[in-house]
């Protein structure tokens, strides 16, 4: 069977298990030829095949980002796609390679953030994750953290606790005051008490 024949849609399956198993196999064997075949079929005439290929690719990226990183230009170009599934899938893939190629991600950050602003919650989640990873790099910390604060100030209240929690490891002394001020300014926006308590916990951890 070819790689395409092993995809969920090719097998007549509606679940993602075949795609996940295929990603595990490709990552485990470091099958670069299989990755190339998946990339080539992101423009397949069947949208189900496109989606399955993207699913397998970003699942590979979570395990072996170096296998998909040579195709960063393909993922960047897909941020312009009219197929939202491909957009957030590409964002997920880019997120997975952020730690190994922060320079490439930084160069394309305006396009990434623009796609996140126009896209789904999943796209936004991964764009914020990318900013956090860049903020963890000494080369991009200041600029990335300023952009991260911008995202935290405008994101939906439901997303703020997760973003704030994930940002904790990369907060430097120079940004603590601004980070705390931003979180305090949004404390009245939460409908769920559990969300507010999560942000209060983050504030407590930063202060201590």
- Kindly state the tokens that stand for 165: 């929690």
Domain that holds residue 163: 104-207
Task: Please compute the mean of the pLDDT values over residues 162-178 and round it to a whole number.
Answer: 97
Per the domain annotation, does 49 fall within a domain? no
For 11-46, the pLDDT digits (tens) are 999 899 999 999 999 999 999 999 999 999 999 999
Question: What's the pTM value of the predicted model, to 2 decimals?
Answer: 0.94
Per the domain annotation, does 128 fall within a domain? yes
Per the domain annotation, does 33 fall within a domain? no
Number of structural domains in the chain: 1
Per the domain annotation, does 166 fall within a domain? yes
For 83-106, the pLDDT digits (tens) are 999 999 999 999 999 999 999 999
Per the domain annotation, does 29 fall within a domain? no
Output the pLDDT for position 164. 98
Per the domain annotation, does 32 fall within a domain? no
Per the domain annotation, does 97 fall within a domain? no
Above pLDDT 90, what percent of the chain? 98
Asked if pLDDT for residue 141 goes beyond 90, the answer is yes
CA nearest neighbour of 54 among 104, 4, 119: 4
């Amino acid at each position: 069977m070819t790689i395409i024949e092993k995809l969920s849609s090719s097998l007549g399956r509606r679940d993602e298990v075949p795609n996940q198993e295929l990603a595990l196999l490709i990552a485990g064997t470091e099958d670069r030829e299989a990755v190339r075949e998946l990339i080539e079929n992101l423009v397949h005439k069947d949208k189900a095949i496109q989606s399955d290929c993207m699913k397998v690719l970003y699942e590979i990226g979570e395990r072996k980002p170096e296998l998909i990183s040579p195709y960063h230009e393909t993922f960047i170009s897909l941020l312009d796609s009219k197929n939202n599934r491909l957009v957030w899938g590409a964002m997920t893939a880019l997120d997975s390679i952020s730690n190994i190629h922060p320079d490439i991600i930084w160069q394309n950050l305006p396009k990434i953030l623009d796609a996140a602003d126009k896209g789904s919650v999943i796209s936004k989640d991964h764009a914020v994750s990318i900013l956090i990873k860049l903020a963890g790099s000494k080369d991009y910390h200041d600029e990335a953290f300023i952009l991260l604060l911008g995202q935290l100030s405008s994101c939906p209240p439901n997303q703020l606790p997760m973003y704030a929690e994930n940002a904790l490891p990369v907060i430097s002394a120079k940004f603590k005051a601004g980070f705390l001020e931003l979180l305090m300014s949004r404390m009245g926006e939460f409908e769920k008490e559990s969300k507010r308590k999560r942000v209060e916990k983050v504030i407590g951890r930063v202060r201590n």
